[in-house]
Amino acid sequence: MAYKVAVIVGSIRVDSWNKKLAHALTRLAGDRLECRFVDIATLPLFSEDLEAQMPEPVSRLKRDIEAAQALWFFTPEYNRGLPGVLKNAIDWASRPYGKSSFAGKPAAVAGASIGTIGTAIAQQQLRNVLAYLDVPTLGQPEVFLHVKDDTFNADGDIANARTKQFLQGFADRYVGWLDKLLK
């Protein structure tokens, strides 16, 4: 049976490379995963003042994450760090205190950037946050996709055969890791 995976993309940009990477990778995972993209664009900015009565987009985010057995994060890098929209979503889903939606759910992390370091620093920050939230992360392979104009073909698939093979290996490794943890 396919594992239920919540896919969290740390960019709300319409033509986001990270969204494209997420779609390409979920396709490579095939029917072994049941992937659901969660909406982070409609979340308000986090404030403890709003916690007593969680806004509806927050309740939906928490429900979507809680319904999943595992997580798949895709993050851009902004100014050598984690994008604010992604941190905002993580902060919301971690609340209220003691009722985090994340605890114990295994996660894989990847990122795409037009910059040459391909989100390495943002991903490291993300891994630190997830460790605190009791979310174990798949260590290898690390996926720092340096995007160029021809990285994706017209169908949204990875154009370069070697890059596609590498990403297939990542998807396979993630599913194999979930087999060990969840079966």
Q: What are phi and psi of 79, to 5 degrees?
A: 50, 50
The one-character DSSP state at 119 is: T
Judge if the upstream peptide bond of residue 76 is cis by omega within 30 degrees of 0. no
CB nearer to ligand FMN: pick between 11 and 94: 11
Helix extents (H) in the chain: 17-29, 56-66, 84-93, 120-132, 161-182
Binding mask 71-110 for ligand FMN (x = CB under 6 A): -----xxxxx------------------------------
Q: Mark the segment that binds ligand FMN (CB under 6 A) among 34-42, 97-105, 112-120, 124-132.
A: 112-120
Separation between Cα atoms, residue 89 and residue 44, nearest integer Å: 9
Q: Is 151 in the site for ligand FMN (CB under 6 A)?
A: no
Q: Which is nearer to ligand FMN, 50 or 114 (CB)?
A: 114
Residues binding ligand FMN (CB under 6 A):
11, 13, 16-18, 76-80, 113-115, 117, 119
